[in-house]
Structure 1
Amino acid sequence: MSLWSFAQQNIREEVYVHLSSNDLIAGETLHFSVFTRSVATGRLSGLSSLVYIELLDEAGDVVYRTKVYQEEGRAAGDIFLTTDLETGRYQLMAYTRWMKNFESYARQELTIVNPYKVYTSRSMLEPEVALQFFVEGGRLLAQRENVLLICARDQYGEVQPLKAKLLNGAGEKVEDVNFDALGVARVVLKPQLGERYQLAIETKDTFRFVDLPASCDDCAQLHVYEMGEQIRIKISSGEGWSQKVGQLLVVSSQGILLDQQTTLTTETLLVKDQLPQGALVAQLYVDGIKVNERLFWNGQFAHADRGVKTYSSRTKVTEQFELPKGSRVTVSAKKQYGSESPQSMHSGATRNSLVSWPGIASEKWTAPLMDDVMLTSTWDLDTARIDSVRYLPEFNSGIVQGKIEARVGELERFVNVALSFQGADFEIDATATNREGVFFLKYDPSFANNKGVVRILNDPEQRYLIEVYPEFYTQYPAWLAAPLQFDSGRLEQITVRSIANQIENAYFTSVKEPSAQRKFPEVDGMVSYVLDEYTRFSTMRDTFIELVYQVGVSKNENKYYFKMRTADIDYNDKYDVETMVLLDGAFSTAEDILNLSPYLVERIDVMNKRYFMGSVMFDGIISIKTFENDGGDTAPLGAPMDLIEVQPEAQVVGTDGVLDLHKPMMNDLLYWAPLVVTDSTVFEVSFLTSEVKGRYVLQIEGVAPDGASISKSMYFDVK
């Protein structure tokens, strides 16, 4: 199957990021685990091999960027929170390159407190509460009972406690309206046609009146109910539409599941087991126009109450969970400080909600809550095939993309460009631009670095300009973050955490990750000159003249060029192509190499035959390798790339079960295993408690082989 066909079948990717914590202090490490799924199937996606991570402050400025290598939709990494960071609210963004075609990304909010810097809190604005109304069925149908969902949020997206009354057209109270802890109220209303209803909200001094949506008679409703093993879709209409005929569609991310003509007073039953799991949508069309849309969820929310266990400090904890074999999960055991926002794989269901939902713990997700989320959500998935995209997926390699433009006149077709990295052995790619001047160059993330350049080949007159597209998003929507507020209890908690963290860091031993190694690629016909095996000459010019017979160099010290004495070419071969000249893996010039001190050089590699990289041809290769592998004092030839290096593979955090009585245990993250694959239906977790007492949560988040979300948690105390 071609890459394009694979991408077409898995058109959309979505990312969920599980954090070790979303409430941290400077000096701690934020660990993250990434699940990249196909929106069409829910299964982990093998389309993208890199995930891009950004940490943004309250102003939207990027304070940290990194990339992590991904295999079959799973990746993990970490961010050490330095003492340069300001206290405040932050956003962590995560996405694949393919997701940029759809302007999509995952977003997690977190709080970082820096106890080593003075923090001046911004003034909290007076809450401006906005109400959003969602009618079960889509429209308020006159003379019928309607269920109305009302959501209350302030300008920060925070839940606001409200007291309100529902008033009829005469200003009389119909009923009191009570909002729950999630800022949601349910109202059952049988409106009279033409009558105006209002919500009277109590404020400090008076009432604020908000109009409810108007009722209608020439309209229809679309209800979705769960009935045991079936889904019931009921269509109702007012008198004005009683004789009309509509079209009912049920759609998933995989395509259309049901398409049937229907009256506007009918019911349809669907069998759950015959439907895909996850979010689905029922749509009603009348006269060719979509008049109603209702999202609903097909899935289970079974939570086993494991109770709250108690353990002593420095004690081994072992727990077992039932999970499908082959599930890919992240396991964490973390102290709860009361200021965290709960995390759950199910929270991905709020992605298309028009309401800002607070963090909801995995055990709090229920079918009624999910139904409320679905009622507030819109369907934004286009199941049609896409014809063109700007960004190709990074399937088995990283991609550098850019565009060539002519300085004067029109661009020639198929201009050759090449990519190289200083300090990386032969991490090179070359290609031709397309008709629009756009190019795509590949690199191996394990060996690329931040000293990469892209250059135009065969352009001594510099006829072209080159633009390298940025790896990361250049901007995000504005975010209004609520100011942090600290009471005495929170300040004491931060002090205790800071001291414990300093003790942990004092005993921390850094493990240097070995650099990725590979054998220098064998190029047919390459000859190596190791300079220590010869008498060293005082200049590189003399070294080439006396040793490297394959390359012609002028004795005139004011002339800088290499003339490759190319072997095995036809007399009629008139191709004017340049020689690949490399200095420590990056493109360089004859002038830079001839001015280099030969005492810095370890060897010279030469291949005096035509060399092809895809459709791009070079007139041989000259490669200089210095002892320090740093290019001496020269910069690589080409347009620099702002390329972020890939993090090394993430490690498991936690004790190995062996107690060190001479070492304090002040860690509040007891266990973090980001890349677990279950090998049976019984999954066992073991770790040691520390000396930090309090309430902890053991959490398992992941994806089953069939694409179903996994979200399990249990709480325990350490005393």
Structure 2
Amino acid sequence: MLQLSMTFVSSVVWSQEKIDYNKLQSEEVNLQTNGAVFLSGETVYISAFSFLGSSSRPSPLSKILYVTLVDDAGEEVNFQKIAMNKGRGNGDLFLGTSLKTGHYKLIAYTRWMLNFGKQHFFEKDLILINPYRTREADKPYSDYPEYLENISFQEMTSPYLSVALDKSILKPRQPLNIELKTQGKDALSGSYALSVRKIDSLDFVKMQSSVELKWNFNQNLNTDSLLAPELRGALVSGKLNFPVNNEGKENRTVVLSFVDVDRTPEFALTDDEGRFTWVLEELPTSRQTMGVAIGVENVCDFEIFEDPRPEYSDLTFKRIGIDRDLKNLIERRSVANQIENAYYQFKPDTIIETPKIRPFYIDAGKTFILGNFTRFNTLKETFTEIIQGGAVRIRNGEPVFKVETSNFIQGNEEYPTLLLVDGILVTNHKFLYNYPSKNIERITVVPEEYYLGPQRFSGILDIHSFDADFKRQYLLQASEALSINPVALQKKYFNQQYGGTDTESLSKIPDYRYQLLWKPLVSLQNDEASFNCYTSDVTGIFEVVVSGFTGSGQPVFVKSFFEVTN
């Protein structure tokens, strides 16, 4: 059981403030993984499902799923955020050598679920064997008879979906074809995960299947400390801490810039306690950020709150011991992991580029590529001679970059120009003024006035340096970077192929894959679908598992086996 402990952020996200949260239903989540027992150096692959209300339909509510791994001391040893789209998402967890042998819990929940109580959290048992760390005296797993009973090679079927293999016995590095066939429209509209993996005597803990999911929906919403759902994107909250008795905390504009990526900053407004919340519709994949409060002096601290997290003091764990008879099996599998990790550069996963939101102002501006003009030594000269609609003025002895809007021309300069360089908000115009113009690639001038969040700006200057050099230089003198929890990168997982033109070169690369195929997001367009993979140099019994849910939320769990022999 889990005990909740969370920080309440009372500031309302203005983009979501008209939502009647009492009418929103609770959510339920389920994780399907590629196994239940792992060795250090292996990866837990995760396929995530979320459902809304008693209808058991995919949930469109939460865009973020929180997944954490907890050890038997109740300590969180890994935490990640998975992007969800229409109730589906995926991620992975690499098990490093710093983790000890033992019983772990994989926990999953959404921010919205925290309002309904701990009984909604997803909880799954994982066993980790670390052969690289010394541990207490071995305790035979035969002391756990229920574990022994779970070692099973029994095939499983479903009325909704069937699996057919073109071979039951294969040689190393041979192709395997997997045919999936759905039964009815409900199964066809579902979503599934596909895993092909070797199993052996180490798999003594039963892998929880989708058919074992028990729905636990209710409407007991705790409105005393309501946490808004991440309906439009990731929520990042914080607070401006002012000196004692300092007034003016309310209606301040705070800006979040991203250090490692080029994207438009995010804007929010503080409440009467100085608290604020950013809504990141373009999900953050970078941890390092920088916060700025526009026009605010004497701020003692710019604080970013941790994501709301539960406590794990009530979780129960079993003591896991490993029989010495399994020593040789563990050694073989461990050596295979080391070889595969050493050759990862030849078998990499591919990062899937997430769609970037185009800056809202990009079509309203005019871009000047400085390489197309005569280069000037300073940015002041560059603006004077090249940049139409932009200007550099000296005010109170300090340089100010401006856009010549209609108010500017009329002498009404009540609002500042939004100055963006390499995707970050720049408040120190003097630093840009002294920056070498030869390092600037392009300048975009947007002569329109905009409200970004609560702040009005008189035009936008969007400047880019070569290789984001300005950003690196600026951050050296800027305030300390703020850290947020990013969303896990989406990947296309490696699928080894033989038989092509590079077969000869591949023959020189060892292949000790235990995980032959992992497809976390399988959606079928037709009644039948085909997938293929190649066996590795590892022999033994392999399982093909298809798990997931039909369009109406009916669980599907199908299992088949084949053997690889020399």
Aligned pair partner of 1:343 in 208, 218, 232: 208
> How many angstroms does 1:46 deviate by?
1.2
AA aligned opposite 1:432: L
* Mapped partners of 1:118, 1:581: distance in 2: 53
Q: 1:547 to 1:532 in 2, by over 3 A?
A: same
Any unmatched runs of 5+ in structure 2? 1-15, 151-156
Give the structure 1 partner of residue 462 of structure 2: 623
Give the whole-Å Cα distance in 2 for the aligned partners of 1:497 and 1:30.
15
Equivalent position of 1:501 in the other structure: 337
- Work out whether residues 445 and 646 of structure 1, in 8 Å CA contact, stay in contact via their aligned partners in 2: no
The counterpart of 1:581, out of the listed 419, 424, 437, is: 419
Q: C-alpha separation between the residues in 2 aligned to 1:597 and 1:609?
A: 27
Query: Aligned residue for 1:672?
Result: 518
Q: Measured at CA, do residues 465 and 447 of structure 1 come closer, stay the same or move farther in structure 2, by a change above 3 Å?
A: closer
Distance in structure 1 (CA, Å) of the matches to 2:246 and 2:433: 35
- The question of whether the paired residues in 2 share the 8 Å contact of 1:423 and 1:586 is answered with no
- Taking structure 2 as the reference length, the TM-score comes to 0.77
2:543 aligned to which of 663, 675, 697: 697
Which of 4-13 and 31-40 deviates more? Answer: 4-13
Query: 2:475 is matched with which residue: 613, 635, 638?
Result: 635
Structure 1 residues 669-717: Cα deviation after superposition (integer angstroms, max 9, x where no partner) = 2322211123455666654444423333322221111122222323444
Counterpart in the other structure of 1:554: 394
- Give per-residue Cα distances to partners, 1:130-166, cap 9 Å, x unaligned: xxxxxxxxxxxxxxxxxxxxxxxxxxxx9789xxxxx
Secondary structure in structure 2 of the residue aligned to 1:632 = helix
Contact 1:611 1:618 in 2 (8 A): yes
Asked if the contact 2:239/2:303 (under 8 Å) is kept, the reply is yes
Q: Are the counterparts in 1 of residues 259 and 289 from structure 2 also a CA contact under 8 Å?
A: yes
Question: 1:41 offset after TM fit, Å?
Answer: 1.9
Q: CA deviation at 1:493?
A: 0.9
Shift of 1:562: 1.0
Aligned to 1:428: 265
Q: Of 311, 315, 340, which aligns to 2:169? A: 311
Matches within 5 A, 1:60-79: 60-79=74-93
Q: Are 2:54 and 1:48 aligned?
A: no
Secondary structure of the corresponding residue to residue 343 of structure 1? coil
Residues 413 and 303 of structure 1, relative CA distance in 2, 3 Å threshold: closer
The CA deviation string for residues 320-374 of structure 1, in whole angstroms up to 9 with x for no partner, is: 555522121112122222333222123432x8xxxxxxxxxxxxxxxxxxxxxxx
Once the two structures are TM-superposed, the CA of residue 44 in structure 1 deviates from its matched residue by 1.4
Match of 1:112 among 93, 107, 128: 128
Amino acid at match of 2:560: M
Q: 1:61 to 1:458 in 2, by over 3 A?
A: same
2:268 maps to a residue whose letter is T
Q: Secondary structure of the equivalent of 2:467? A: coil
The structure 2 residue matched to 1:101, chosen from 112, 115, 119, is 115
Specify the SS of the correspondent of 1:635.
helix
Aligned counterpart, 2:286:
449
**Secondary structure at 1:647's aligned position in 2?**
coil
The one-letter code of the counterpart of 1:442 is V
Q: Deviations over 1:53-72 (max 9, x none)?
A: 33344444444443332211
Deviation for aligned residue 1:539: 4.5
Tell me, yes or no, if the aligned pair for 2:196 and 2:543 is still in contact at 8 Å.
yes
Larger helix proportion of the pair? 2
C-alpha distance in 1 between matches for 2:95 and 2:460: 44
Q: Deviations over 1:450-488 (max 9, x none)?
A: 3323322221x2357543222362743365644542333
* Match of residue 257 from structure 1: none
The aligned counterpart of 1:134 is none
Shift of 1:33: 0.6
Residue of 289, 292, 304 corresponding to 1:468: 304
2:44 equivalent to 1:25: no
Aligned to 1:650: 491
- Contact 2:49-2:89 within 8 A present in 1 as well: yes
Report whether the alignment pairs 1:513 with 2:323. Answer: no
> Shift in Å at residue 307 of structure 1?
13
- Matched residue SS, 1:619: strand
Mapped to 1, the partners of 2:233 and 2:100 lie a distance apart of 36
| Larger CA deviation: 393-402 vs 81-90 | 81-90
Structure 1: state its 5+ residue gaps: 125-157, 162-179, 183-299, 352-379
Question: Measured at CA, do residues 683 and 5 of structure 1 come closer, stay the same or move farther in structure 2, by a change above 3 Å?
Answer: farther
1:593-638: per-residue Cα shift (whole Å, max 9, x none)? 2343333322333345422224421233233311111503222966
Q: 1:502 aligns to what SS in structure 2?
A: helix
Q: Give the distance between the partners of 2:19 and 2:563, measured in 1 at CA.
A: 51
- Structure number with higher relative contact order (C-alpha < 8 Å, ≥ 6 residues apart): 2
Q: Mark the CA change 1:700 to 1:565 in structure 2 (over 3 Å): closer, same or farther.
A: closer
CA distance in 2, matches of 1:490, 1:534: 71
User: SS of 2:113's equivalent?
Assistant: helix
Q: Which amino acid aligns with 2:43?
A: T
Question: Please, which moves more after superposition, 482-491 or 492-501?
Answer: 482-491
Aligned to 2:251: 414
Contact 2:242 2:298 in 1 (8 A): no
CA contact (8 A) 2:250 2:272 kept: yes
How far apart are 1:34 and its partner, in Å?
Answer: 0.6
Asked if 2 retains the 8 angstrom alpha-carbon contact of 1:317 and 1:689, the reply is no
Instruction: Please give the alpha-carbon distance, in whole angstroms, between the structure 2 residues aligned to 1:303 and 1:538.
Output: 70
| Residue 4 of structure 2: aligned partner | none
Aligned to 1:137: none
Residue 43 of structure 1: CA displacement? Answer: 1.8
Counterparts in 2 of 1:536 and 1:11: CA distance versus 1, 3 Å: same
Q: Could you report, residue by residue, the CA deviation over 1:367-399 in whole angstroms, capped at 9, with x for unpaired residues?
A: xxxxxxxxxxxxx75425665764332234222
Query: Any idea what SS the aligned residue of 2:133 has?
Result: coil
CA offsets 1:473-518 (integer angstroms, 9 cap, x no match): 2743365644542333222111111222334345542355365575
Q: Does the C-alpha gap of structure 1 residues 541 and 56 become closer, same or farther in structure 2, counting only changes over 3 Å?
A: farther
CA distance in 1, matches of 2:105, 2:531: 30
Report the 3-state secondary structure (helix = DSSP H, G, I; strand = E; otherwise coil) of the residue aligned with 2:213: helix
Q: 1:398 to 1:307 in 2, by over 3 A?
A: closer
Q: 1:303 touches 1:712 (CA, 8 Å); kept in 2?
A: no
TM-superposed CA distance for 1:586, in Å, is: 0.9
Root-mean-square deviation (CA, aligned residues, Å) is 4.1
Are residues 85 and 602 of structure 1, via their aligned partners in 2, closer, same or farther at CA, if it must alter by over 3 Å? Answer: farther
Instruction: Identify if the C-alpha distance between structure 1 residues 544 and 687 changes in structure 2 by more than 3 Å, giving closer, same or farther.
Output: closer
Deviations 1:242-277 (A, max 9, x none): xxxxxxxxxxxxxxxxxxxxxxxxxxxxxxxxxxxx
- Give the 3 Å change call, closer, same or farther, for CA 700–657 of structure 1 in structure 2: farther
Q: Distance in 2 between matches of 1:5 and 1:537?
A: 53
Q: 1:92 to 1:3 in 2, by over 3 A?
A: farther
Give aligned pairs, total: 517
Q: Shift of the alpha carbon at 1:640? A: 4.0
Cα deviation, residue 42, structure 1: 1.6
Which whole-Å CA distance do the structure 2 matches of 1:505 and 1:604 have between them? Answer: 44
Q: Is 1:440 paired with 2:288?
A: no
SS class of match (2:472): coil
Conserved? CA contact 1:307–1:715, under 8 Å: no
Contact 1:47 1:395 in 2 (8 A): yes
The alpha-carbon distance between structure 1 residues 388 and 650, as it changes in their structure 2 partners (threshold 3 A), is farther
Deviation at 1:437? 4.3
Measure, in 2, the Cα distance between the counterparts of 1:591 and 1:35: 50
The answer to whether the 8 A contact 1:654-1:669 is kept is no
Q: Distance in 2 between matches of 1:543 and 1:698?
A: 63
